[in-house]
Structure 1
Amino acid sequence: MPLFSNVPALRLTLAYALSEPSSLLPHRTIPTLLPLPLPIGPWLPSLNSTGKKPTIRALVLDKDNTLCPPETTKLHQSYINKLEKLKQSDEFSHNPHSILIVSNTAGSSSSAEHEAEAKLLEKELGIPVLRQHPDRKKPFCGPDILAHFKDHGVTEDAQEIVVVGDRLATDVLLAREMGSWSVWTRDGWRNPETPGRDYRGFFGRMESRFERFMRGGLGRTAPLPKTGPSS
């Protein structure tokens, strides 16, 4: 879903860009989902000066331009294989609900199209898709994500959750609002056979420029997940 069609997300992004721009930076960056390290916890920044690494028990995955080309449910075998490795990993194999797809298309409304997309992904991948409240799409659906993981016995601690997606203004900001960890898929979805094709839209490309300026030009880093109640 283009950012401009999600006006509340655009407003929140602009507010952070003006007052706390480092909050739009991810904790870690990978080109696509495929090279995401396993386990994830040891790869993330340390929680404190002692070097303690976070414990990760839950994973939130974006769909559009992370799992699939934008606004499709076309699943490439390499991504299916990656998801199987994630499901079988020590961090996420303990509970079938420990990985959750959260999309601003699939499962984002009661429309027949969005519900059909969600059901197809669940059938093909064996991973649940969050049914979002229409007024709480990314990056505002953090309470619903936390409720899902709590209700299914995965975790009640937002700092045990990693959000992976291609957009700073929705996926990374969702993690920031939740008090969770963010991993940015900088290049979005790429077909391993034709990796040169770029599916990012205008806002995605602008976000990449913003991230490069913040890190390279200003030397900024993402703040650690905020502490406090997880719901």
Structure 2
Amino acid sequence: MPLLANAPALRLALAYAIHDPASLLPHATIPNLVWLPIPVSSGLPTLPSGKKPTIRALVLDKDNTLCPPETSKLHPAYLAKLEKLKASPEFSHNHASILIVSNTAGSSPKPEHEEEAKHLEDELGIPVLRQQPDRKKPLCGPDVLAFFKEHGVTDNPAEIAFVGDRLATDMLVAREVGSWSYWCKEGWRNPEMPGRDYRNMFNKMEARFERLMRGGYGKVAPIPAAIAALGEK
């Protein structure tokens, strides 16, 4: 979903970019979803206590993360990765511990969005969040938290990791709710044709922004608020 079609998200992202740009940065960067480490916590920053964060819930973006943009095509390499994640100790305790949150599938009552959500649920055995049309990413954080709480996964946002290809939606919603984030820098890639780039103009602008913030200004993503409150600064 183009950011320009999601005006509230655009306003929020611009406000952060001007006043608190570090909040748009990820806690960890991977080329694509296939590279997501297992356990997921192992790739996140080590806390001053010497421990890794505890992760009990995982939020996955769809377009250009799980599937090519604006499709629900599932590549065998990505299916295999999802099976490993589902079977891992972090997420095998609850069938609802992995959630797909998309600004297309399940993002509105439109038949095509509902059909896509049901297709993913049937194929993957992973639930898809049904979003309110006026609360798409990065505004859907409360709905994500409510889902995991209602399904007995966790009520602690610092035990959730978000994975996606967009700074202005996926990374920002993680920041908004106080969770961890993984950025798929290359977006979705076909392992048989890794040179094919599916990123759009916004992805490429964000990549330049990320390089500038990290390399030029030395910015890093802020630690989730709940952990910072415990003195893990």
* AA partner of residue 156 (structure 2): D
Match of 1:54 in 2: 53
Query: Any stretches of 5+ residues in structure 2 without a counterpart?
Result: 228-233
What aligned pairs does 1:80-119 form with structure 2 within 5 A after superposition?
A: 80-119=79-118
Alpha-carbon shift at residue 200 of structure 1 (Å):
0.7
Alpha-carbon shift at residue 179 of structure 1 (Å):
0.2
Match of 1:7 in 2: 7
Cα distance in 1 for residues equivalent to 2:167 and 2:78: 21
* AA partner of residue 5 (structure 2): S
Alpha-carbon shift at residue 50 of structure 1 (Å):
1.9
* AA partner of residue 110 (structure 2): S
Q: Give a deviation string over 1:90-111, Cα, whole Å, max 9, x none.
A: 1000000000000000000000
Give secondary structure in 1 for the equivalent of 2:197: coil
Q: Give a deviation string over 1:125-160, Cα, whole Å, max 9, x none.
A: 000000001111000111111111001100000000
Match of 1:189 in 2: 188
Match of 2:144 in 1: 145
Match of 2:168 in 1: 169
Cα distance in 1 for residues equivalent to 2:206 and 2:125: 31
The TM-score normalised by the length of structure 1 is: 0.97
Match of 2:34 in 1: 34
What aligned pairs does 1:66-85 form with structure 2 within 5 A after superposition?
A: 66-85=65-84
Give secondary structure in 2 for the equivalent of 1:164: strand
Cα distance in 2 for residues equivalent to 1:194 and 1:173: 30
Alpha-carbon shift at residue 43 of structure 1 (Å):
2.2
Give secondary structure in 2 for the equivalent of 1:74: coil
What's the RMSD between the two structures over aligned residues? 0.9
Give secondary structure in 2 for the equivalent of 1:34: helix
Match of 1:132 in 2: 131
Alpha-carbon shift at residue 164 of structure 1 (Å):
0.1
Cα distance in 2 for residues equivalent to 1:86 and 1:203: 29
Alpha-carbon shift at residue 69 of structure 1 (Å):
0.5
Alpha-carbon shift at residue 226 of structure 1 (Å):
1.6
Query: Any stretches of 5+ residues in structure 1 without a counterpart?
Result: none
Cα distance in 1 for residues equivalent to 2:187 and 2:56: 24
Cα distance in 1 for residues equivalent to 2:114 and 2:79: 21
* AA partner of residue 29 (structure 1): T
* AA partner of residue 23 (structure 1): S
Aligned residues: 227
Give secondary structure in 1 for the equivalent of 2:115: helix
Cα distance in 2 for residues equivalent to 1:52 and 1:36: 19
* AA partner of residue 35 (structure 1): W
Give secondary structure in 1 for the equivalent of 2:149: helix
Match of 2:230 in 1: none
Cα distance in 1 for residues equivalent to 2:11 and 2:93: 38
Give secondary structure in 2 for the equivalent of 1:227: helix
Cα distance in 2 for residues equivalent to 1:143 and 1:180: 12
* AA partner of residue 59 (structure 2): V
Cα distance in 1 for residues equivalent to 2:44 and 2:200: 28
Alpha-carbon shift at residue 227 of structure 1 (Å):
2.3
Cα distance in 2 for residues equivalent to 1:27 and 1:14: 20
Alpha-carbon shift at residue 218 of structure 1 (Å):
1.3
Give secondary structure in 1 for the equivalent of 2:50: coil
- Which structure 1 residue ranges, 4+ long, deviate > 4 Å from structure 2? none
